[in-house]
Amino acid sequence: MEQLIRSYYAAYNGLDGDGLAAILHPQVELVSAMGTQSGRDAYLATYRFMTGQFVDIMEPETIAVEGNCATVTIRDSLTAKADVDDFMGQSLAKGQEIVLNLTGRYTVEDGRIVRIEVAPRE
C-alpha cells in the first residue's frame, strides 16, 4: 500500500491526471477544506483547479499503514501562478508561496484509493 500512496504523490506532483485517475476508485470521496467532492471526475476537477492556480507540490513526510488505511504527514507547497484574490481567507501575489502542514488519511479498496481526508496537521 505504501507504494500506491507514493505513486499517488508522484502522479499529483507530476501533473499526471491520467496516472491519478488510474489510482483513484471511480467513487472516490475527497474531504478537504474545499468541502467534499464525490467521484473521480469531481476529484480531478478539484485537482485541475488547484494545479491551474498554483504550482502545488505535496511531499509525503511520513506514511503509516494500518490495514487498508494510510495516514500521511504532508508538506504542501503552493506557489501562486497569478494573483489569487482569496484562497483559504488570504490573498496571494503571483509567485508568492504558502506552505501547509497537513495530514492525509487514505482508504484503499480493490487496489485503488476510495477515500481521501486532508486536514491541517494537529
List the domain range (segments joined by +) for residue 109: 2-120
pTM, rounded to two decimals: 0.93
Question: Which of 24, 78, 74, 71 is closest to 49 using CA atoms?
Answer: 78
Neighbours of 53 (CB within 10 A): 16
Rounded mean pLDDT, 90-100: 95
No. of helices (H) and no. of strands (E), the chain? 3, 8
Q: Name the domain count of the chain.
A: 1
- pLDDT over 90 (residue 60): yes
Q: C-alpha cell of 65?
A: 499503514
Q: C-alpha cell of 97?
A: 508561496
Confidence class for position 122, pLDDT limits 50, 70, 90: confident
Q: Point out the least confidently predicted range of 32-36, 38-42, 62-66.
A: 32-36
CATH number of the domain that residue 35 is part of: 3.10.450.50
What's the rounded Cα separation, in Å, for the pair 16 and 44?
Answer: 11
